[in-house]
Amino acid sequence: MAVTAHPHAEREVDGDVARYDVSVKIGNVVYMVLYTPPNGANIVEYSPGTQMLFLVGSHTLTFNSKLSGTTEVPILRRDNVPGQRDLDWSKAPGQYFSMKQQHISEALALDGDQQANIKPILEQETGEVSQILRNPALSQKDKLNQYERIVRSSDANIRPFLSKAQLDKLLEMRKEQRETLKRLIAKRNAANQN
């Protein structure tokens, strides 16, 4: 989310080594981590807004880097932020996928295996939904019809990994998503006409 140069203390031995305070938002938590790039590279300064996968530990975040391979950085601070209910379509598909994954995981109380099996299905759904939403040639009705087709296909692939109670909850959530999408498409169409 943000990158700033880490202040050096006067007596630091490695005071000439570039280090950065990097803010990373995962779910409803913003982590401030201390990142020391390999070989003094400053590419991190240009990375705000980049989406990456992280493994959250009790005191560290771990990520894969093209420069340094698997990298572990210390967490300096954690701040909880209020959840966001509606999706900001200007940030889709990245936000769409992360919010959908988090919401489905929490609402259905998915275990690790279920999450691992469902993630690629939701990633494919995200890409397909993003394409229809960005297509100005499609009418609102066409977008909704295609959205429903994509969701039906996605749900058919997710179904084998869910219990009966989880499936019922998913179908209820999909109904709410469809109504939200209808409102958002109508709002976007109205804004584009003005």
pLDDT of residue 70: 82
- Confidence grade of residue 156 (pLDDT, cut at 50, 70, 90): very high
Residues 66 and 120 in one domain: no
Are both 96 and 134 inside the same structural domain? Answer: yes
Count of domains for the chain: 2
Q: Are 1 and 30 in contact (CB under 8 A)?
A: yes
49 and 128 assigned to the same domain: no
Phi-psi region of 104 (alpha: psi -120 to 50; beta: other; left: phi over 0): alpha
Which of 80, 97, 127 is the last residue before a domain boundary? Answer: 80
Could you give the 3-state DSSP secondary structure of residue 139? coil
Position with higher pLDDT, 61 vs 40: 61
Residues 7 and 32 in one domain: yes
Residues 101 and 30 grouped into a single domain: no
Final residue in a domain of this structure, among 61, 80, 99: 80
Verify that 177 and 95 share a domain, yes or no: yes
Does 12 lie in the same domain as 33?
yes
Same domain, 96 and 174: yes
The answer, as to whether pTM is greater than 0.85, is no
- Residues 47 and 103 grouped into a single domain: no
pLDDT at 93 over 50: no
The parent domain of residue 17 ranges over 2-80
Domain termination residue (choose one: 62, 80, 98)? 80
Cα–Cα distance between 161 and 182 in angstroms, integer? 28
- Mean pLDDT of the region 12-26: 74
Higher pLDDT, 27 or 85: 27
Check pLDDT > 50 for residue 95: yes
Mark whether 95 and 6 lie in a shared domain. no
Please indicate, yes or no, whether residues 105 and 187 belong to a single structural domain of this protein: yes
